[in-house]
Amino acid sequence: MNTDLNKKGVFMKMRMATITLTLCIICMVLAKRVDAQTITSTPQQSTTGVFQFVATSIDVVGLEDEVSYIVRNELRKSPNLDVINQRELEISLARNDIEQRFSAAEAVKAASVLNLNYVIIGKVSRQSQQIVANIQVISPINEGAIGELTFRFSNQAQISLQSDQIGRELAQVISKHQVDSSDMAAAMAQDWVSKIDAVYDSGEVALTWSLSDPSTSVLGYNVYRATDAAGPFSYLSSETETTLVDSVGSLTGTFYYQVSLIDDEGQELRSNQIASVNVFAEQKSSLQAPSIVGTKERVNSAEFEFFPAAANVGKNIIAYELLRKAPGQAAKVVGKLTLPKSQGGNSNSSNNKPSIQKMKISDTSGEGFSGTVEYAIRAINPEENGQLTDYVPYTAALAPNLNAAPANVLRQISLSWQASTAGFGYKLYRKTPNQADWTLLKELPSIATLNYTDNQIDGDGKEYLYSISVYDDLGETPLSNPIQVTTKGGLAPPINVQGVSDLARKARISWTRNDDPDVTGYSVFRSEYTPDQEFTLTRIGEIKDPLATSFEDLTGLKDNTQYYYSVASLNRFDSSGEVSKPVLIKTKTPPPALEQVSADIQNNEMLISWLIPSSANLQDLEKIVIERKWQGAGGNEFEVVAEVSPSQNQYTDNNLVAGASAEYRLSLVDRTSLSGKASSTPPIQMNVPLELAVTRQGMLRKIALNWKNAQAPAQIKIFQAKTGEAFSLATELAAHRETSFTIEQGLIDDQEYQVKLETWFGNQKLAESNIVVAKTKDIPAPTSLMAQSNQARKVTLTWDKVSDDSIARYVIFRKPAQDTNSELTAIATTENVNQTQYIDQVSGDQTGIQHGNKYIYAVASQNVFEATGFIGTTVEASSKPLPVSPTNVTSNATQSAIELQWQLGNESDLRKLVIERKWPFSDEWKVISEQNASSTFYNDKDLYPFIKPDYRLKVVDADGLESAYQEYKQANNILVASLKVEEEKLLRKNVIAWNNTPNDVTPTVQRRKANTGNWQSIATLSAGQQEHSDTQNLLDQSAYDYRIALSRTSSSGNFELGITNIVTATTKDLPKAPQLSVQSGLVKTVNIAWIIDDDPDVGGYNLYKLEADGKKEKLDTLKRQENSYTDDGSFFSKLEDGATYSYQIASFNTYKVEGPLSEVAVATTKALPSAPLSLTTELVGGTPNIAWVFSTQDDVVNYEIHRGSTCSRVNSLVTVSGSTQQYSDTSAKAGRSYCYRIRAIDQTELESELSIGATIEIPEA
């Protein structure tokens, strides 16, 4: 290893001690692994999943299933592995959108989702006439393969023969990783590699890796290679970049790569990640390279046009691949064009001539690149990859250069660029100088767009960096060189800013407006002037008008004070530009203070006087403001009591408070409302009496008062008392400004009261008034009360209205006349005072009166406070009594009704009699009749069968008064429901009917076999139905008993009324057989006919032929409208000649049930003709002459003459007419002997047996 490092000359400064130490550490790790294998005899069971293997070409489709099946079965034999059910695996993968393919990334995802320790993936291919299975064991901890195995088979049978080896080697890989994983994790806990990949193509392995932490300090890397995943690894190369191209040349097999990092102290850190790649022997392909004819520039990609090679026609081309390589790197496949099956071999024209069409292929890798790369194309079929075209150099499209227009528009930057030669559009990026990353500003989808205006700017005078790229569907170019642009700065201030001083608490400024088109208004700033001190301007207002040239400040200014003002232009984003040079403005000076201000009480009034100072500008004065503040707990603030002319010098205040003291202050106010300094008086005691008087009495619960010398802010307390009782507080008035008040609370009617007044400041009593006396209003009673008796259901009361506005309504009182010890009770209140009538109604409860009873009544007034006055005079009255109930009620039952009879009382005004009925199934009484009161009987015909009703009767008089009910229980009822047979002798159907079934009664049909078995309910019908057609499971020609059970359903449940009589009905007999006729004498055929039955229930016919043993053979099932049939035998058993056959027929109904058979009909087929008789032969002139006697049948039409060398073997010679009796055989040859036999043929082409032979010998010539 040291020699290799010195050869490379890259890391000479690595100390020998370091190398030795590294080797020692590796040895220790290996030793530790050995110890671990020795100690751990039974590793923990690991859960394993097996992906469905992938077939890389059509000629191995199906073999991938066999290999993956063997892997699953063999791994299940390992005690350390738990292989997940394949169905469970596939369901979970489908739910999580994970594909079963030869992909370590998909396998790692599956392991994470299913919590697997290992996933087995594989692919099956065909290489040099061998079947090759590449199998990888994926570990989620390692995030990749922990082992790769390659198995080669000469044919399909070899796959199953090597199943033990496949399972054993896979189990060893997993077992080794189970033992080593904990030690490897501890030894490589700080692994620096995030990923290492190896790709083989065209004799080169392209190796790439990346750092887990990009900030790691690195001197370089050592790369090692091995032919086994467990090592040993040999030094291959030292690199300063994270890529290496290993030219393996003619080497083949699986190669393993491992990379170590050399840190800045010269220490070597070996990664625990291993990349593997399968290298196979390259053979020059028989597939010729296509011809590249054009290139289209793309962004981070390229598109090529090519013609397929004509030599590849018929070679089952399935796709074309595009390969790309950069300087110093191996080529990789970056695009694929898969051909439809119809284009395989590029021969799909109708005349079988090759059709070479131009094609396109693109780089679809999505990997960005810059500078110049090279591309080549090749054809592929299921057996091999084709030859490459020459590599074509290609330079990727670059982003255009950006330009920016001068920033003369507010918060807007205009960008432009030259058109790109490729791509779909542009992506424009932006950032500030302090930002590290670019932000996508705008995606422009058209390559023809050559400018863009950025309006997304949040400040004036801001700096931005811009860059642009070109993109298409395959990628994006690197960003262009950035340009830096500064937006337009803040606006200039307006000029000629001037101010106006000596305004009352305000300032006015003006300026010449700014003509910049971005000006939308102006901001005004202010600061109070302080000599020899710096000042800070504060924004006090905005004018949203670009044409404005002045501003008036009315906010918080002090009198006689100087202020600085500045103005700035305002843009449409409400941002202020540079402020103008400040101007100094002074506010107005207020008027001077009044002089010689005094106050004094004269005649219970306060006289206030003053003098205006000579320094005052009389022309500028507007008024004098007089304010007062009460002293003590109640006087906290001054309040304005008057505003007088500056020409006056005194003022009289009549608003005094007895016992209080007050302070006054006066101020001069000019015409601009500026107030001068106030001048005050000392506090003055108000020694005036508190005088109380009654304004009005005799009011409804009110007393009106007035007083003097008790005003706000004094607290006024009013006390009241019934005459002879102690005073109590009626109300408190805080800061009451009036000199009167009406007491409306706590007073009662018709009562005399004493009232007094006190004034207070807080807890200090100021004064007490004199005592006054006043009386409230009384409640008068109504007069002229009258009552009207003997009215139906009521007593009517009337009285005279009380003419008093305080009366709101009346209260009515009542008690029974016979109750002499009880008091009258209030029973009602009228709605208003105008209601002078009340009707006392009869009711069933205690609140109303009872029919015919006497009562005592009285009425009292009630005022608006709902106080009731005294009760006036009383009256006595009663309502009309109820009529007498009917008596002596009886009933008499007939076949169709119940007759009721009764007797009535002797009332003269009876109007009607009401009859009600209740059935046992209900608690509800229903009116069934309302009759003239003179009637004494009623026939009830609306009855339910089988049950007894209850009745009750009452009478009603002319006033609608009703008597009590007279009840009659369980009236006798002999009404029944009668059942009869409506129709019978029908095909599996009986119709029954019954009567006396009301519309709310439900019939249930019950049935049994006639006189036998239990009754069964076969149908529950609609309420009120009185007929039923029974077609339920009936048999032909059978008798059935029927009865009807009647019931009524209500909210309280189901009630059984009763059951009808029993009737018997019989179903229709089976159909009779038709009369059968047959025709004899036909050749191997019998014609059969019958007469069609007019019974509509006949469904068809079954025709039978009788066998010799008496058994029946069913010839056919015929439709109802058919009336004939021809029997010519079956395919295997034709009718015989001259044979006798017997037939029977039976009708069946529409339920396919057959009736009795017909009489037997016999027919005979036509017999074969008899053979000719008396056959003789003789030589006539050397020629045989054959003669015979006619056959016995008279319809023979031909004779067929047979000849042979012997009588047992003859052949047809000639056919002659049936009228012929001899034949000369001129074809016979001399020197031979012959046998002749003859067969008769009749007009139906029936042939007889051959006749007896006749021989003859012909001598030699």
Dihedral class, residue 666 (left if φ above 0, else alpha if ψ from -120 to 50, else beta): beta
> What are the two backbone dihedrals, phi and then psi, of residue 187, each rounded to the nearest 5 degrees?
-75, -30
**Measured torsion, CA atoms of residues 1105, 1110, 1112, 1113, in degrees rounded to the nearest 10:** -60
Dump the DSSP string for 24-85.
HHHHHHHHHHHHHHHH-SSPPPEEEEEPPPEESSGGGTTHHHHHHHHHHHHHHT-TTEEEPP
Q: Which residue has the higher pLDDT, 603 or 955?
A: 955
Position of tokens 């402020």? 579
Provide the pLDDT for residue 327: 76
**Reported confidence tier of residue 338, pLDDT bands at 50, 70, 90:** very high
Position of tokens 């070679």? 315
Q: What is the pLDDT of residues 619-643, one digit of tens each?
A: 989 999 999 988 754 556 888 989 9
**The pair of three-digit structure tokens given for residue 884, joined into one six-digit string:** 């007498």
Average pLDDT of the chain, as a whole number: 86
Alpha-carbon gap, residue 992 to 1031, rounded angstroms: 12
Residue type, position 144, single letter: G
Provide the pLDDT for residue 429: 95
**Reported confidence tier of residue 343, pLDDT bands at 50, 70, 90:** low
Alpha-carbon gap, residue 66 to 81, rounded angstroms: 21
Alpha-carbon gap, residue 796 to 807, rounded angstroms: 22
Helix (H, G, I), strand (E, B) or coil at 530: coil
Q: Please check the confidence at residue 463 and state whether its pLDDT lies above 70.
A: yes
Residue among 168, 166, 136, 139 at smallest CA distance from 151: 166
User: Worst-scoring range by mean pLDDT, 272-276, 498-502, 918-922?
Assistant: 272-276
Give the list of residues 6+ apart from residue 1207 with CB closer than 8 angstroms, or none: 1235, 1237, 1253, 1255
Q: At what angle do helices 104-114 and 86-95 cross, to 10 degrees?
A: 100
Provide the pLDDT for residue 42: 38
**Reported confidence tier of residue 10, pLDDT bands at 50, 70, 90:** very low
In this structure, the strands spanning 1053-1059 and 1039-1050 are antiparallel
In this structure, the strands spanning 550-553 and 507-512 are antiparallel
**Reported confidence tier of residue 280, pLDDT bands at 50, 70, 90:** low
Residue among 1101, 1112, 1089 at smallest CA distance from 1163: 1089
Helix (H) or strand (E) holding 86: helix 86-95
Helix (H) or strand (E) holding 410: none
Position of tokens 């018709």? 750
Average pLDDT estimate for 63-90: 86
**Reported confidence tier of residue 735, pLDDT bands at 50, 70, 90:** low
Check if the beta carbon of residue 1080 is closer than 8 Å to that of residue 1164: yes
Q: Please check the confidence at residue 282 and state whether its pLDDT lies above 60.
A: no
Provide the pLDDT for residue 185: 39
Average pLDDT estimate for 852-871: 91
Provide the pLDDT for residue 218: 86
Provide the pLDDT for residue 635: 56
Alpha-carbon gap, residue 626 to 668, rounded angstroms: 9
Q: Which residue has the higher pLDDT, 201 or 1181?
A: 1181
Q: Which residue has the higher pLDDT, 61 or 1065?
A: 1065
Q: What is the pLDDT of residues 306-325, one digit of tens each?
A: 999 999 988 999 999 999 88
Check if the beta carbon of residue 879 is closer than 8 Å to that of residue 794: yes
Provide the pLDDT for residue 8: 31
Alpha-carbon gap, residue 537 to 533, rounded angstroms: 13
Provide the pLDDT for residue 989: 94
Provide the pLDDT for residue 950: 95
Provide the pLDDT for residue 19: 28
Provide the pLDDT for residue 13: 29
**Reported confidence tier of residue 524, pLDDT bands at 50, 70, 90:** very high
Check if the beta carbon of residue 43 is closer than 8 Å to that of residue 175: yes
Q: What is the pLDDT of residues 1158-1204, one digit of tens each?
A: 999 999 999 999 999 889 999 988 899 999 998 888 889 999 999 99
Alpha-carbon gap, residue 456 to 1010, rounded angstroms: 101
Reported residue count of the chain is: 1261
**Reported confidence tier of residue 39, pLDDT bands at 50, 70, 90:** very low
**Reported confidence tier of residue 712, pLDDT bands at 50, 70, 90:** low
In this structure, the strands spanning 118-127 and 54-55 are parallel
Q: What is the pLDDT of residues 158-200, one digit of tens each?
A: 888 888 889 889 888 888 887 665 444 334 434 677 778 887 7
Alpha-carbon gap, residue 176 to 1097, rounded angstroms: 87
Q: Which residue has the higher pLDDT, 738 or 525?
A: 525
Dump the DSSP string for 674-687.
-B---EEPPPEE--
Provide the pLDDT for residue 367: 72
| Partner residues linked to 256 by β-bridges | 226, 276
Provide the pLDDT for residue 421: 82
**The pair of three-digit structure tokens given for residue 105, joined into one six-digit string:** 């990334």
| Partner residues linked to 260 by β-bridges | 222, 270
Note if the bond before 780 is cis, omega within 30 degrees. Answer: no
**Reported confidence tier of residue 15, pLDDT bands at 50, 70, 90:** very low
Alpha carbon distance, N-terminus to C-terminus of the chain: 119
Helix (H) or strand (E) holding 1200: strand 1196-1206
Alpha-carbon gap, residue 1021 to 1018, rounded angstroms: 10
Helix (H) or strand (E) holding 587: none
Average pLDDT estimate for 479-508: 90
Give the list of residues 6+ apart from residue 294 with CB closer than 8 angstroms, or none: 304, 305
Provide the pLDDT for residue 477: 84
CA–centroid distance for 482 within its chain: 49
Residue among 1115, 1122, 1059 at smallest CA distance from 1085: 1115
Range with the largest mean pLDDT of 13-27, 267-281, 696-710: 696-710
Helix (H) or strand (E) holding 104: helix 104-114
Check if the beta carbon of residue 1242 is closer than 8 Å to that of residue 1231: no
Report the percentage of the chain scoring pLDDT > 90.
47
**Reported confidence tier of residue 12, pLDDT bands at 50, 70, 90:** very low
Q: Which residue has the higher pLDDT, 371 or 228?
A: 228
**The pair of three-digit structure tokens given for residue 532, joined into one six-digit string:** 């020899």
**Reported confidence tier of residue 272, pLDDT bands at 50, 70, 90:** confident
Report the percentage of the chain scoring pLDDT > 70.
92
Q: Give Dmax over CA atoms of the chain in angstroms.
A: 203
Q: Please check the confidence at residue 130 and state whether its pLDDT lies above 60.
A: yes
